[in-house]
Amino acid sequence: MSSKTLPPLPPIDYAYLEETLLQLLAIPSPVGLTDGVARYTAGRLEALGIPYELTRRGAIRATLRGRESRPARAIVAHLDTLGAMVRQIKPNGRLGVVPIGHWSSRFAEGGRLTIFTDSGHFRGTCLPLKTSGHAFGDEIDSQPVGWEHVEVRVDTPAHDAQDLVKAGINVGDWIAFDPQLEIQPGGYINSRYLDDKAAVAALLAACKAIKDSGRVPPVDAYPLFTITEEVGSGSSAALHGDIAEMVSLDISIAAPGQNTDEQAATICVQDMSGPFDYHLTHKLIRLASEHGIRHRRDVFRYYRSDSAAAVEAGNDIRTALIGFGADASHAQERTHRDALEALAQLTAAYMLSEPVARRDRSSMGSLEGFTEQVKPEDMLVPSTPLPVPGEFLEPDGAAAAAVDAESSERM
């Protein structure tokens, strides 16, 4: 089907998307401290008239009813972010910390942050152990990089560990680093935690576009908002048996050697967990092409997402990964308005499209209706037959003698 005959996609309300992103970034949500962002997201869904349920810990499963209930699909983004936790109250009146999630202390150094205690909060700064050039000279540049080589300076009078304990700070307190948001007139968005709050905003904007249009998806769609993706478990708990397809929305990696573009959506074909479902991935590629959505394909070597968590939890579902192009993932991240719009458009296009295979209504079935990847005629491998050794080899060197005799006759 050409783009001329496709029904147009419902427009994405970018003002809503950006407003949602800014509000999400204002809510600290390192893994394990996600109640606030779950409450916010539930409120956004209520405002759109989209029903939802919460798991015990706060993952959200919303529902967009389709014309049919099966084979259902899930579209997933995660509310949790990176962060840190107090691991030591040090004799010098500062805090030793460990990361929440996987990120380098190189990008924590100099970061302003909030420490959440049992009864309140404190502000502070993450600093290398040797910080003042006037005191340490060249040692500033030669000290190692690592979480054991940084500490948190708390903005409260503290000369020793006891001062911090009296203030109410404990080992195990959560730490959230400031987003440091900056939006440029040209469309660039700089902030920590675009992973994955930008994708959450894009997913909500896609849901809003569908609701505003009055269009009904072909099959039930379940927007999922998970809370433990950054530590690996993610979507393992919020799925149910009718879901046959799952598309994760997450950050995509613009870096040397990658094909991702900061101003486009990305369709990832494989990450470190292996290839994504062939048919679902190619469906997304076709949708992007047919609707003129700017996109790139890519492969990520050091990456996993909610899709991996779902499969590893034992779910027999088709999975795929799409995202917004971004520079400096898990650091000072940057994306562009165009990438977020493209991701929201592709998400809406997917939710309004037919399922990959009607056969997927049931988890098990016959060969009838089963998918096909490579046509039989494309499986033929051309080859040149090798000669049969018995035709040119004779025992006891006779073949060599025959060759020598033949050569002599030619001379």
Pairing of strands 265-271, 295-299: parallel
Q: Which of 118, 126, 113 has its CA nearest to residue 168? A: 118
Q: What is the pTM of this model?
A: 0.91
Active-site residue flag, 182: no
Residue 406: the pLDDT is 59
Could you tell me the CA-to-CA distances from 296 to 124, 153, 258, 269 in Å, in that order?
Answer: 40, 43, 10, 10
Matching residue, tokens 């909060």: 121
Alpha-carbon distance 327 to 54, whole Å?
A: 32
**Architecture, CATH, for domain 83-177:** Beta Barrel (2.40)
End-to-end CA distance of the chain: 70
Report the residue count for the chain.
411
Residue 3: the pLDDT is 46
CB atoms within 10 A of CB 376: 7
**HSE-up of residue 376 (Cα within 13 Å, Cβ side):** 0
Q: Which CATH superfamily is domain 14-81+193-356 in?
A: Zn peptidases (3.40.630.10)
Q: Are 105 and 150 in contact (CB under 8 A)?
A: yes
Residues paired with residue 324 on neighbouring β-strands, in sequence order: 251, 265
* The two three-digit tokens of residue 239, written as one number: 């799925």
Task: Encode the chain in three state secondary structure.
Answer: CCCCCCCCCCCCCHHHHHHHHHHHHCCCCECCCCHHHHHHHHHHHHHHCCCEEECCCCCEEECECCCEEEEEEEEEEECCECEEEEEEECCCCCEEEEEECCCCHHHCCCCEEEEECCCCEEEEEEEECCCCHHHHCCHHHHCCCCHHHEEEEECCCCCCHHHHHHHCCCCCCEEEECCCCEECCCCEEECCCHHHHHHHHHHHHHHHHHHHHCCCCCEEEEEEEECCHHHCCHHHCCCCCCEEEEEEEEEEEECCCCCCCCCCEEEEEEECCEECCHHHHHHHHHHHHHCCCCEEEEECCCCCCHHHHHHHCCCCCEEEEEEEEEECCCCCCEEEHHHHHHHHHHHHHHHCCCCCCHHHHCCCCCCCCCCCCCCHHHCCCCCCCCCCHHHHCCHHHHHHHHHHHHHHHHC
Residue 397: the pLDDT is 55
Residue partners of 28: CB distance under 8 A and separation at least 6 = 36, 83, 114, 116, 176
Residue partners of 41: CB distance under 8 A and separation at least 6 = 24, 60, 79, 200, 204, 225
Alpha-carbon distance 161 to 167, whole Å?
A: 10
Per-residue pLDDT of the chain (411 residues; tens, 9 = 90+): 444 578 899 999 999 999 999 999 999 999 999 999 999 999 999 999 999 999 999 999 999 999 999 999 999 999 999 999 999 999 999 999 999 999 999 999 999 999 999 999 999 999 999 999 899 999 999 999 999 999 999 999 999 999 999 999 999 999 999 999 999 999 999 999 999 999 999 999 999 999 999 999 999 999 999 999 999 886 666 787 789 999 999 999 999 999 999 999 999 999 999 999 999 999 999 999 999 999 999 999 999 888 888 888 888 999 999 999 999 999 999 999 999 999 999 999 999 999 999 999 888 889 888 999 988 888 888 889 899 998 889 776 555 555 555 556 665
Matching residue, tokens 């977020």: 340
Catalytic residue among 18, 53, 182, 229, which? Answer: 229
Q: Are 251 and 300 in contact (CB under 8 A)?
A: no
The answer to whether the 14-81+193-356 and 83-177 domains have the same CATH topology is no
Show me where the domains of the chain are located: 14-81+193-356, 83-177
Alpha-carbon distance 91 to 29, whole Å?
A: 29
Pairing of strands 265-271, 274-275: antiparallel
Could you tell me the CA-to-CA distances from 313 to 226, 233, 238, 335 in Å, in that order?
Answer: 14, 9, 11, 31
Residue type, 83: G
Residue type, 98: V
